[in-house]
């Protein structure tokens, strides 16, 4: 089982890596041409609102509800019934999202007030620009949610590559608009927003040929009374909140940051983008792959295989996410310098964004655990429990947000936006811990043998890695003074040396990564270490 899972995870991870690389190139272009000022602050809010709703309707609640149901249909029903479910879902979701999109476009001024109230009161120019941008970016929600539906169908049939590649197109389109269109426009920010609209259309059209190959023709049929659609709706309503607590936390960060100095939202964005790199390449890829498998195991009532698959995934999380978090923490400012410190993004921006990146790095393990543990509920069509847990995590995040920011502001700390990132990270661990406890209490997940040894060995190997890369990286000033190619070579050397030190130390301690690829040792446990 785990060999196929590892292969699928590698495919999704590889495609996601490609997307993240182009995403970093996109952000490098943004930072070079626009820096961290008014235009980028407004654009990031205008893009974040539909992007947040995409996480709810597309990758989040909808996918978590749709994939288990269509997997159940594929396992227990005839192919024609599966196609009818897909068509009815597409028609119903498409119509509802069209209505939401029209409302969102007309309500853009109100939405900007809700998500960045500080601008409405104190910065009318930024508020007006963000409103104009949002009217162009909001329709992205419709296109990308239908793209997610297509991706859910393809994933259910074991076609992971094309859905994982699709985000590359978003980045290519935005790079093109930032370089070719925005500089010649009277309003560069609005031009970037138009690029988001175009990117949504391109991503949706890209999925069509791959659906044809597995026998699906894009048809839209109103199906609100269809049994499967109604089931998806019942599962989706609570999941609208439960699957996207992290995104709500980030939006709370944006709301509070709108009251801080100009640049705070951009610094949070750039640091979040680097944190999302390992999370997307590994965490989201792994969650994408295990959800159909867990749903199939639940439908066939194979509890032992269900637990074994979840255990395998959690071991991979510990093996990869811990060193990734430590590496991101140690190399925070060198990475920001190498990737973004060109043009108008200056050394002060590196310094300020470095604070929030280190705070986000502390929560990388928590974010990844949430991504992998949540399918343990959604695959069993339980969307209510993550909602209750999400409410607790959201409350914790809000309290910590206000506590950290107020304390940092009153004590004169130069980067109070750091408190927002730190609160989000701590809330992620609360979320993950409660999800884990719930799975254990219900007897759904039984950890296999060898966990104690794995944890201690990964921590030790990560510590060796951290010492090595900290020594190689040295102080920040030489990075700021170096040419771009020198920075890239230096950073690549640190990353490769750190990875070599980590895996070499693991090998000396008897941990063999091949065990995670080749198979599971028994029905209820993962590789022994």
Q: Which residues of the chain have pLDDT under 50?
A: 1-2, 518-529
Number of separate helices (H) and strands (E) present in the chain: 25, 0
| Alpha carbons 342 and 111: distance in angstroms, whole number | 33
CA angle 263, 492, 481 (to 5 degrees): 55
Q: Residue 431 burial (CB < 10 Å; 0-12/13-18/19+)?
A: buried
| Alpha carbons 199 and 144: distance in angstroms, whole number | 9
Q: Tell me if 422 sits within 8 A of 362, measured CB to CB.
A: yes
| Alpha carbons 321 and 234: distance in angstroms, whole number | 33
Q: Tell me if 494 sits within 8 A of 331, measured CB to CB.
A: yes
Whole-number pLDDT of residue 7: 65
Angle between helices 264-278 and 332-340 (to 10 degrees): 100
Whole-number pLDDT of residue 518: 47
DSSP 357-409: HHHHHHTHHHHHHHHHHTHHHHTTT--HHHHHHHHHHHHHHHHHHHHHHHHHH
Whole-number pLDDT of residue 523: 41
**Three-state SS sequence of 185-233:** CCCHHHHHHHHHHHHHHHHHHHHHHHHHHCCCCCCCCCCCCCHHHHHHH
DSSP annotation of 504: H
Whole-number pLDDT of residue 59: 58
Alpha carbon 7 to its chain centroid, in Å, reads 21
Whole-number pLDDT of residue 464: 96
Q: Residue 90 burial (CB < 10 Å; 0-12/13-18/19+)?
A: buried
Whole-number pLDDT of residue 242: 55
For residue 250, give both structure tokens.
């980030």
Q: Residue 94 burial (CB < 10 Å; 0-12/13-18/19+)?
A: middle
Whole-number pLDDT of residue 524: 39
Whole-number pLDDT of residue 526: 46
- At residue 447, the 3 state secondary structure works out as coil
Query: Scanning the structure block, which residue is given the tokens 């071991």?
Result: 315
- At residue 321, the 3 state secondary structure works out as helix
Whole-number pLDDT of residue 3: 56
Whole-number pLDDT of residue 196: 92
Q: What is the reported pTM?
A: 0.70
Phi–psi pair at 342, nearest 5 degrees: -140, 160
């Amino acid at each position: 089982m785990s060999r196929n899972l590892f292969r699928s995870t590698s495919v999704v991870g590889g495609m996601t890596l490609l997307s993240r690389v182009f995403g970093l190139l996109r952000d490098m272009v943004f930072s070079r041409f626009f820096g961290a000022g008014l235009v980028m602050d407004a654009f990031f809010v205008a893009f974040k609102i539909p992007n947040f709703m995409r996480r709810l309707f597309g990758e989040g609640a909808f996918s978590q509800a749709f994939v288990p149901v269509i997997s159940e249909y594929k396992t227990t029903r005839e192919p024609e019934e599966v196609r009818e479910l897909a068509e009815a879902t597409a028609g119903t979701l498409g119509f509802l999202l069209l209505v939401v999109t029209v409302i969102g476009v007309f309500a853009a001024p109100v939405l900007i007030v809700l998500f960045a109230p500080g601008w409405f009161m104190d910065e009318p120019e930024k508020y007006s620009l963000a409103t104009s941008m949002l009217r162009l970016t909001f329709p992205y929600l419709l296109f990308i949610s239908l793209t997610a539906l297509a991706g859910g169908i393809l994933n259910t049939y074991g076609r992971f590559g094309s859905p994982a590649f699709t985000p590359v197109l978003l980045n290519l389109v935005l790079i093109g608009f930032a370089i070719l269109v925005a500089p010649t426009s009277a309003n560069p920010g609005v031009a970037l927003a138009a690029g988001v609209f175009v990117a949504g259309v391109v991503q949706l059209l890209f999925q069509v040929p791959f659906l044809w190959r597995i026998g699906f023709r894009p048809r839209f049929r109103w199906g609100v009374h269809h049994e499967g659609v109604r089931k998806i709706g019942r599962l989706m309503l609570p999941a609208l909140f439960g699957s996207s607590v992290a995104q709500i936390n980030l939006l709370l960060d944006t709301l509070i940051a709108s009251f801080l100095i100009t640049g705070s939202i951009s610094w949070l964005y750039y640091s979040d983008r680097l944190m999302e790199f390992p999370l997307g390449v590994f965490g989201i890829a792994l969650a994408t792959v295990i959800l159909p498998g867990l749903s199939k195991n639940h439908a066939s009532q194979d509890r032992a295989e269900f637990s074994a698959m979840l255990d395998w995934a959690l071991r991979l999380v510990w093996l990869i996410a811990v060193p990734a978090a430590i590496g991101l923490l140690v190399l925070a400012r060198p990475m920001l310098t190498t990737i973004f410190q060109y043009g108008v993004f200056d050394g002060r921006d590196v310094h300020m964004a470095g604070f929030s990146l280190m705070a986000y790095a502390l929560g990388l393990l928590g974010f990844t655990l949430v991504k992998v543990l949540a399918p343990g509920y959604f695959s069993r069509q339980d969307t209510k429990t993550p909602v209750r847990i999400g409410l607790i995590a959201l409350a914790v995040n809000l309290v910590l947000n206000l506590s950290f920011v107020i304390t940092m502001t009153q004590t004169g700390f130069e980067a109070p936006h750091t408190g927002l990132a730190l609160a989000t990270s701590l809330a992620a661990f609360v979320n993950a811990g409660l999800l884990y406890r719930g799975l254990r209490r219900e007897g759904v997940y039984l950890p296999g043998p060898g966990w104690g040894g794995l944890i201690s060995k990964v921590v030790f190997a990560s510590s060796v890695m951290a010492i090595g890369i900290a020594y190689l990286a040295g102080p920040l000033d030489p990075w700021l003074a170096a040419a771009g190619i020198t920075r890239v070579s230096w950073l690549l050397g640190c990353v490769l040396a750190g990875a070599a030190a980590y895996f070499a130390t693991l090998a000396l301690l008897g941990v063999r990564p091949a065990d995670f690829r080749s198979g599971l040792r028994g029905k209820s446990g993962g590789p022994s270490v």
